[in-house]
Structure 1
C-alpha cells in the first residue's frame, strides 16, 4: 500500500502478539472485516524482547489457545520463547489472520463529522469504525529514578538482558524478585557471577503440588477468575518459574546456592545502595502465600475424594539464611565488586499513538473489561482486564472473544440505523409516485422490518 492510499475496514487491531492474534480469530469468526497491524514480526516480543533462555511460565497444555496444541512438546513441558513465537505465527496462518507486518501505527484520531477513526501508519492510512489496542502490558520498561545514568555501574532493564556474557566482568545486583528477576539472578549465579538479589513483596505459589501444576490448582480453586487483586496486592509480583523443567521458587535455596538476598532497593548515594529492612517480612509473606495455597489444595482433594499423592515435604521451609536474619542494609557497590545492575522492575503502558480521551492522569486506560470510555476504542491484553488470567495466553483469548461480541453488538445498532435510513428513502414520496394495487403487499419493508432482517442482534 502506498502512503497516499486509504483503506476502509471495520476494525483496526494494533499489535500482532498473542492479544492481536486472538482478536483476529474472534473477529474473523463473526465475519467482521479487520486488519492487524504489527510494526515488527508476529509475537516479536517473545523473540527479541526477552533473555535467551526464557521459557513460558505455564505448561504447554495450559499456555495456549484452544484451537492449537504445541506440536512435538510434552503437555507438561515449558515452551522456549522462540517456540512460543512460532506458535503464534502458525496460529495466524491457521486462521488466515489478515496481519500486516512491518507497519507501525503513528496515530489514531477520531474523524471529524463522521463515525470512526483515522489511522495513520508507515504504510498508508485506514478508516476504521473500531480500534483495538492489542499492544499488551509490556510496552515501556520501567527503571526507577534511583541510580543516576552517569554512575560508574552498568545498568540495564531485564527486557534488554540476554545472557551473562553480555554484562561486563564482575558482580551483579538484580533488583526485583518476580519471575524474571529470580530466573535472571539464578542464571547469572550459575555462570559464576557473584549475585545480590533485591527481594520485594511477592506471591510464591508452588510450581506443582500433589502431581498437579499450579496452573491447574488456580483453575480448580477458582483463582484465575478472580475479578480483582486482593486489597494491597495490586502490584505484588509472582515468583514462579518454568526454567529447568519447572520448579518452585525457593529463596532459601537461592541463598544456599550463593545468592545474597537483600530487601527492596530504597536509595542510592555516591556508589552506596541502601535497602529497606523488609527482607524477612517479604520472605515470610511469600511463605504464607505458598502455605495458604497448599491448604486450599489439600481441602479440595479431601472434599472431592481425589486420589492424588500426599506431599508433606512441600511444607518444609528450612531455616532462614544469614542474609535474612542479619540483612545487608547498605552496600558499597564498588567495594563489593558489583559492576552491573539488572532492573527486573516491570513495564508501563505507552499509548502515545492513540490520540483519544481514554486515559487517566497517569496514562492508564479507562475501561470496563477492555471496553474503553471512548466509544469505538477497545483494549486487550491488560493485567486484570477481566480476571486474574487476563494477561496469560489462554486468558487473553477469552477476553478477545468478549470484545468481539461487544463490537458485534455495536455493529447491530449500526445496521439498524442503516436499514432505517434505507427504508425511509425507499418510502419517500419521490420513490412512491406509482402507487401499489390496494390489496398488494408493500414491496419495501418498514424501518422496523428492515432492521429485523438486517440486524444480527434483532434476528
Structure 2
C-alpha cells in the first residue's frame, strides 16, 4: 500500500502536469517568487520519453524550440531533433531552475473549496491551493471506432502512443488507420522498413517541407502565421476539430506524399467506415481526401508566393506540384482481412480529452472542453495551459509555450497582488506587487 505523504498541505499555486507546459508555468512562478508545487502522474516529460516511436523526430525546425529562458542550444537550428535529443534538451531546461516537482503523483479530483480556492485529491493524500494551473494537454484517450471490438482476436491492435518500431510488431501486413502527423509518419516508418502497409486516408491536410529555397515553416514564421490569435483564424468548434498538416522532419526533413507511397506499393483506401463479415469497409473518399490535402498545400504555397512578390524577395522559382498517382475509378473500398493476412492494426485517429476529474462546471463548455480566454477560465483561480490553439497557431507547438505560460502566470500574479498586501506579505510576494 502506498503511504500518503500529503496531509492537507496548502500552497498558493498547484500545477498539475510535469511536461513542458507545467514546467514552463513553474519557471515563471519561480521568477515571481510564488510558492507552488508541480504534480506529475508519471515523470517529467513522460509523453516524450514513453509515448513516441523510436524514429520520432520533430516536424518543426529546431530553432522553433523555445522554453522560458531556454531556446534551442544545439548546433543544427535548421534540423529536426529526434526523440532522445528532445528529451535531453528538456531535461537541461528542468535542471536550469530545479522546479518543485513531485513525480509519481496521480491527481484524482479537483473541486472548489469552501471559501475559495481548490481541493486537490491525489493518490498520495489531499492538498489545497488558492490557484490551480491545469497543464495536462487534451490528448488523454485514444480514439478507437466501435468496430474495433469486432475485429478478430488474433489481430494485434494498438494506438500511436504504443507503437515503437516495425520489429516490435508481429510479422505480416499492417493496417494504419488515420493520416494525421502520427499516422503518416508511422506508415512511412513501416514502409521504409519493407513492411506491407495498408493506409486508411482521412481528411487531414498536408504541407510541403521546403518551398522556394526555404523550409515552409520559416516562410510562415516570417509571415506571422504562428502569432495570429486563434479567433482570427477559427471558430471554437473548428479549433477542436482541426487536424495538423502532415509532413516530416525525418532524415533532415521531407514531404510526405501519400501518392508517392502508393506508387511504391503502399495500399491506400478512403476513410474507415465499418466492419462486415471479416471485411473492413472504407468510404469512397480517397480521391477527395488526397485532392483536398494537395489543395491545402497549394494554398499555402500561393500565400508564400504572394509574400515573396509583395516584399520583392529573391527566391528561386518552383514548378507546381503534379500528382504522381491517382486512384482508379474502381479503387477498392473493401479489405478482406484473411485474404490480405493483416496481423496488426494501428489506430491513429486522434485522442479525446477527459477532464471528468475536474469538478468545476464553470470552467467547461457543454461538451466538456475547457472554456477559457488565453487559459483563464470563468472559475476564479483555475487556469489551463498547453492546449492546442490556446492563443495562437504556435500554442500547439513548443514554439509558443513560454509566451502562453508567461501570460497565465502574469494574470495569476496580478490576482494575488490584488488580493491585498496582507496576503502578499504572508506569501513572500510583496516584491511583485505594484502600488
TM-score, normalized by length of structure 2? 0.91
Farther off after superposition, 156-165 or 203-212: 203-212
Cα distance between partner residues in 1 of 2:142 and 2:13: 28
Say which SS state the counterpart of residue 338 (structure 1) adopts: coil
Aligned to 2:51: 49
Q: Which residue of 2 aligns with 1:151?
A: 152
C-alpha deviations, 1:6-55, integer Å up to 9, x for none? 32221100111111111111222222221111122110100111211111
Structure-to-structure mapping, 1:215-226, within 5 angstroms = 215-224=217-226, 225-226=228-229
Are 2:281 and 1:310 equivalent residues in the alignment? no
Deviation at 1:260, TM superposition (A): 1.2
The answer for the alignment partner of 2:230 in structure 1 is 227
In the TM superposition, structure 1's runs of 4+ consecutive aligned residues that sit over 6 Å from their partners are: none
Give the C-alpha shift of residue 125 in structure 1. 3.1
1:192 to 191, 194, 203: 194
Is the CA contact 1:367–1:373 (under 8 Å) kept in the aligned structure 2?
yes
| CA deviation string 1:161-193 (max 9, x = no partner) | 111122222111111111111111111122222
Match of 2:345 in 1: 341
Distance 1:13 1:324 in 2: 53
Q: Measure the CA separation in 1 of the matches of 2:184 and 2:384.
A: 30
**Partner Cα distance (1:306, 1:212) in 2:** 12
Q: 1:352 aligns with which of 352, 356, 377?
A: 356
Which region of structure 1 is more displaced relative to structure 2, 76-85 or 114-123? Answer: 114-123
Shift of 1:373: 2.2
Tell me if the contact between 2:4 and 2:123 (Cα under 8 Å) persists in the aligned partners.
no
- Runs of 5+ in structure 1 lacking a partner? 423-452
1:377 aligns with 2:379: no
Work out the number of aligned pairs and report it.
424
| Alignment partner of 1:130 is 2:131 | yes
CA distance in 1, matches of 2:57, 2:373: 31
Is contact 2:208-2:255 (8 Å) kept? yes
Please report how far the alpha carbon of residue 149 of structure 1 lies from its aligned counterpart in structure 2 after TM superposition: 5.1
Cα–Cα, structure 1 residues 249 and 405, in superposed 2: closer, same or farther, change >3 Å? same
Give the counterpart of 2:280 among 266, 273, 282.
Answer: 273
- Asked if the contact 1:12/1:130 (under 8 Å) is kept, the reply is yes
Asked which structure has the greater CA Rg, the reply is 1
3-state SS of paired residue (2:340): coil
Residues 149 and 30 of structure 1, relative CA distance in 2, 3 Å threshold: farther
TM-superposed CA distance for 1:418, in Å, is: 5.4
In structure 1, C-alpha distance between the alignment counterparts of 2:414 and 2:102, rounded to whole Å: 26
Q: Deviations over 1:398-456 (max 9, x none)?
A: 1111111110121122126859xx9xxxxxxxxxxxxxxxxxxxxxxxxxxxxxx9695
Bigger drift between 220-229 and 243-252 goes to 220-229
Deviations 1:32-84 (A, max 9, x none): 22111112211010011121111111111112325224444411111111221
Q: Alpha-carbon deviation of 1:324?
A: 5.3
- Equivalent position to 1:292, from 299, 317, 333: 299
Structure 1 pair 264–352 and aligned structure 2 pair: CA distance change class (3 A): same
Alpha-carbon shift at residue 396 of structure 1 (Å): 1.9
Alignment partners' CA distance in 2, 1:150 and 1:288: 35
Secondary structure of 2:343's partner? strand
Q: Tell me, yes or no, if the aligned pair for 1:3 and 1:125 is still in contact at 8 Å.
A: no
TM-score normalised by length of structure 1: 0.86
2:419 aligned to 405, 414, 420, which one?
Answer: 414
| Map 1:112-261 → 2, pairs under 5 A | 112=114, 114-148=115-149, 151-152=152-153, 153-224=155-226, 225-228=228-231, 229-230=233-234, 234-261=241-268
Cα shift readout 1:131-184 (whole Å, capped 9, x = no counterpart): 111011222211122222552432111111111122222111111111111111
8 Å contact from structure 1 (residues 178, 237) kept in 2: yes
Root-mean-square deviation (CA, aligned residues, Å) is 2.4
**Does the 8 A contact of 2:66 with 2:400 survive in 1?**
no
* Distance in structure 2 (CA, Å) of the matches to 1:226 and 1:108: 30
Structure 1 contact 73–79 (Cα < 8 Å) conserved = no
Instruction: Give, in angstroms, the shift of residue 268 of structure 1.
Output: 1.1
